[in-house]
Amino acid sequence: MREWLDRVATAYFERILGNLDEIFLFIGVDTTIYYANPAYSRLIGVPREKVIGRKLRDIEPQARIIEVLETEQPVFHDYSYVASAGMDVIGNMFPVWIDGAKVGAVAIFRPISLSIAASDRKRTVDDPEDGFCRELVGKSRVFRNVLGVAHKVAKTDATVLLRGETGVGKEVLARAIHRASPFRAGPFVAVNMASVPETLLESELFGYEAGAFTGASRTGKPGLFEQADGGTLFLDEIGDVGPLLQAKLLRVLQEKHIRRLGGTRSVPVQVRLIAATNRNLEEMVEHGQFRTDLYYRISVIPIYIPALRERDEDILLLAETFKSRLEGKYGAMKTFSPRVLERFLRYSWPGNVRELEACVEYMFLMADGVLLDVQHLPPALVDPGPNRTAEPERAPWPGSATTEEPQASSGWASLRRRIEEMEREALAQALRESRTKTEAMRKVGLSRKGFYAKLKKYGLS
């Protein structure tokens, strides 16, 4: 087997994988490194000849690929820290089977942008929350603390109140709590209290009996409390609920029974409640807009998720993660320019993680080449202002869940002009600083077709 693997490695891998930008690693079942491509030497900084033939277990015992080899579970867009190289990496790893026999595992990964790797590396493979919510990305101390508390309360049946601005991840965290809770076998039912009119909300939550009101179905309908029985009910935007419904919610929480509209029967419900709000409930209580007793009922365990601008380390890691997901989706690799990463850090992200996710997707689709640069940024980030403190009144990213209106179309037109000016200048500069057009094309990261089309468009050819 060993000889065969050696032969395969030299004959095929080198030819196919020699030019790959990512690191490609192939290990055998005993973790012997059979192949590492030239990107390994380049990006890890250790000549690959020094590691080929050695056991990865001896070099990097905590390597994620060893876990993959042992558990036989592939991982995608997985984030981990390579202690021997002192760098954070992201990549895909999967076991390799030939004719029904496990022959090893493959890892295709790359270091996360240097600026990210240089930041906080507190996240280790020993983190207790690692398995808790893999899809919740973040390594800042504040975010890891949030996960720590959520992980603890998940195991109980306590009511949790998630606080934080729009788009910080309240719903994803609610889902993670559900999955790690004793209610995980039951359903997760989410309702946004702000998006349903109060009159409808009551029948949505508690259901109704046949003929309860004009237009009610003849068979009646179970409400969301009943639908979530045995599981978790996520009440998003609970601060938007009016006084009547607040009173009814309080009763259900106290009695653990619901009564359908138009019904007399009391139905027991076993539901774990998670509520969320981005409003200041304490102030609402003070002004008599929110019931004090309900407030105390739902805020048994309050968890505050900080805004994205309060956790710099997460901004870049999240950006890299979203990009990597898109790379998987579209089958194209792209890289953020350092200027873009800098812009990400300066921006205030009023729409938080949701806005960042939309921004990365926008850039990914706008860029023809591999480089995601400032000219691909969405309008809100084109001119992020001098610093964050001066930013809140800026127009938000269109489509972000804020209450402000998107920019007027004339604003879009002038932005487009500015983007084009920047694009022209970037191309002209690349041409000035290159000996050949091919060199300039590489610098700006465009495809040949895209590059020549743009030269023509800006009269630079």
Q: How far is the CB of 180 from ligand ATP (least distance, A)?
A: 15
Question: Is residue 116 part of the contact set for ligand ATP (CB under 6 A)?
Answer: no
Q: How far is the CB of 59 from ligand ATP (least distance, A)?
A: 30
Question: Is residue 123 part of the contact set for ligand ATP (CB under 6 A)?
Answer: no
Cβ proximity to ligand ATP: between 56 and 360 the closer is 360
Question: Is residue 153 part of the contact set for ligand ATP (CB under 6 A)?
Answer: no
Q: Of residues 180-219, which lie at the interface with ligand ATP (CB under 6 A)?
A: none
Which of 278, 335, 400, 402: binder of ligand ATP (CB under 6 A)? Answer: 278
Q: How far is the CB of 77 from ligand ATP (least distance, A)?
A: 11
Cβ proximity to ligand ATP: between 238 and 269 the closer is 238
Q: How far is the CB of 173 from ligand ATP (least distance, A)?
A: 7
Residues that contact ligand ATP, how many (by CB under 6 A): 19
Which of 127, 130, 171, 209: binder of ligand ATP (CB under 6 A)? Answer: 171
Which of 167, 186, 207, 378: binder of ligand ATP (CB under 6 A)? Answer: 167
Non-local CB neighbours of 267 within 8 Å, separated by 6+ positions: 226, 257, 258, 259, 260
Q: How far is the CB of 178 from ligand ATP (least distance, A)?
A: 13
In the block, which residue shows the tokens 């240089």?
A: 118
Cβ proximity to ligand ATP: between 306 and 379 the closer is 306
Which of 229, 357, 373, 423: binder of ligand ATP (CB under 6 A)? Answer: 357
Question: Is residue 140 part of the contact set for ligand ATP (CB under 6 A)?
Answer: no
Question: Is residue 137 part of the contact set for ligand ATP (CB under 6 A)?
Answer: yes
Which of 166, 203, 324, 375: binder of ligand ATP (CB under 6 A)? Answer: 166
Question: Taking CB under 6 A as the rule, which mask of x and - marks residues 79-98 in contact with ligand ATP?
Answer: --------------------
Distance CA 107, CA 91 (A): 7
Candidate segments 129-137, 222-230, 336-344, 406-414, binder of ligand ATP by CB under 6 A: 129-137
Candidate segments 48-56, 159-167, 222-230, 412-420, binder of ligand ATP by CB under 6 A: 159-167
Cβ proximity to ligand ATP: between 23 and 137 the closer is 137
Q: How far is the CB of 174 from ligand ATP (least distance, A)?
A: 8
Q: How far is the CB of 175 from ligand ATP (least distance, A)?
A: 8
Long-range contacts of 381-384 (CB under 8 A, 24+ apart): 381/343, 381/344, 381/347, 382/415, 382/418, 382/419, 384/343, 384/346, 384/347, 384/348
Cβ proximity to ligand ATP: between 164 and 223 the closer is 164
Residue 316: other Cβ atoms inside 10 A: 21
Candidate segments 168-176, 205-213, 267-275, 417-425, binder of ligand ATP by CB under 6 A: 168-176
Q: How far is the CB of 86 from ligand ATP (least distance, A)?
A: 24
Cβ proximity to ligand ATP: between 44 and 318 the closer is 318
The 3-class secondary structure across the chain, one letter per residue, is CHHHHHHHHHHHHHHHHCCCCCEEEEEECCCEEEEECHHHHHHHCCCHHHCCCCEHHHHCCCCHHHHHHHHCCCEEEEEEEECCCCEEEEEEEEEEEECCEEEEEEEEEEECCHHHHCCCCCCCCCCCCCCCCCCCCCCCHHHHHHHHHHHHHHCCCCCEEEECCCCCCHHHHHHHHHHCCCCCCCCEEEEECCCCCHHHHHHHHHEECCCCCCCCCCCCEECHHHHCCCCEEEEECHHHCCHHHHHHHHHHHHHCEECCECCCCCEECCCEEEEEECCCHHHHHHCCCCCHHHHHHHCCEEEECCCHHHCHHHHHHHHHHHHHHHHHHHCCCCEECHHHHHHHHHCCCCCHHHHHHHHHHHHHHHCCCCEECHHHCCHHHHCCCCCHHHCCCCCCCCCCCCCCCCCCHHHHHHHHHHHHHHHHHHHHHHHHCCCCHHHHHHHHCCCHHHHHHHHHHCCCC
Candidate segments 13-21, 24-32, 169-177, 453-461, binder of ligand ATP by CB under 6 A: 169-177
Q: Please report, for residues 98, 159, 319, 389, the alpha-carbon distance to residue 372 in angstroms, rounded to integers and kept in the order given.
A: 38, 43, 12, 26
Which of 9, 39, 82, 136: binder of ligand ATP (CB under 6 A)? Answer: 136
Which of 51, 252, 353, 359: binder of ligand ATP (CB under 6 A)? Answer: 353
Question: Is residue 354 part of the contact set for ligand ATP (CB under 6 A)?
Answer: yes
Q: Of residues 215-244, which lie at the interface with ligand ATP (CB under 6 A)?
A: 236
Residues lying near ligand ATP in the complex (CB under 6 A) are found at 135-138, 164, 166-172, 236, 278, 318, 353-354, 357, 401
